Amino acid sequence: MAALESIENDFQSFLLTGGAAIERSVVGTERVSVATRLAIYGNAYRSRLIETLEGHYPALLALMGEAAFGELAAEYVQAHDSTFASIRYYGGALGAFLAAHPEHEACPWLCELARFEWAMTEVFDAADATPIEARSLAEIAPQDWAELRFELHPALRRLDLMWNAPALWRALTAAEPAPPAEPQAQQISWLLWRRELQIFFRPLAPAEAAALAAVCAGQSFGELCDGLSLVLNEEQAPAAAAGFLREWVHSGMIIGTRASEE
């Protein structure tokens, strides 16, 4: 077993760093040398990772073109080993890689499109959960509302973007002409979530973004209302909070409530 583990480690070292120790465990022939045999596996490994990136980022691939995306993907594979048991989770750092890439850092919409596509992947792959129904809120005693806290669906994601990446994604994945990449007047928060097997996304107004941030931080409904009074006013805050909560429940984003932080 120790010998097998040593061979496996040597093979992994070859795939990830080009280590030569595995050569002593491979038999070559006159027709197929050791180097050729190993190159077959090495090239297949890198090609599979590049194919995975193409699958995760179809809109980015369409926007950049096959040649430019292929070069980017090859550089990413060279810089990022696969550290997951499933290849499904490979490629999450491509957005950050693009942001720091000397040839692409001047095109921030590429980075944001990659971040948006990866968020879509995370939403699709997230664990499932059963949303609560609206009638369950009607059963909560009035005196419990101030300390009431909410549990969000594990597939929910929030993404802050400066460019029109969602519009680019929508057009490119529908094989339609992409609109020009355009910066927004200010950063926009986008909400992404899944209900059953369907993914939804929409922009958040500042007040709703603040309310959602409060829920994510574990704040109570009373604390949420207090926070909203700084964005809106004391009279509008409770009604706005109730409206946001009603929309979140209707959309299947809330999966549980508790009457206190404990």
Domain 129-262 has CATH 3.90.930: yes
**Spatial separation of the C-alpha atoms in residues 119 and 169, rounded to whole Å:** 12
* Residues 6 or more apart whose Cβ sits within 8 Å of residue 120: 169, 192, 199, 201
Q: What are the domain boundaries of the chain?
A: 1-106, 129-262
Give residue 14's identity as a one-letter amino acid code. Answer: F
Which residue ranges of the chain lie beneath pLDDT 50? Answer: 1, 10, 32
Tokens 């795939």, residue located? 15
**Spatial separation of the C-alpha atoms in residues 55 and 47, rounded to whole Å:** 12
pLDDT tens digit string along 91-132? 999 999 999 999 998 999 999 999 999 999 999 999 999 999
The pLDDT value recorded for residue 29 is 62
**Spatial separation of the C-alpha atoms in residues 66 and 74, rounded to whole Å:** 12
Share of the chain above pLDDT 70, in %: 82
Tokens 């048991």, residue located? 85
Torsion of CA 248, 249, 250, 253, to 10 degrees: 60
CB 192 within 8 A of CB 200: yes
**Spatial separation of the C-alpha atoms in residues 186 and 209, rounded to whole Å:** 14
CB 254 within 8 A of CB 135: no
The pLDDT value recorded for residue 1 is 45
pLDDT tens digit string along 210-244? 999 999 999 999 999 999 988 887 788 889 999 99
pTM, whole model, 2 decimals? 0.83
3-state secondary structure the chain: CHHHHHHHHHHHHHHHHCCCHHHHHCCCCCCCCHHHHHHHHHHHHHHHHHHHHHHHCHHHHHHHCHHHHHHHHHHHHHHCCCCCCCHHHCCCCHHHHHHCCCCCCCCHHHHHHHHHHHHHHHHHHCCCCCCCCHHHHHCCCHHHHHHCEEEECCCCEEEEEEECHHHHHHHHHCCCCCCCCCEEEEEEEEEEEEECCEEEEEEECHHHHHHHHHHHCCCCHHHHHHHHHHHCCCCCHHHHHHHHHHHHHHCCCEEEEECCCC
Return the structure tokens found at 171: 């057009």
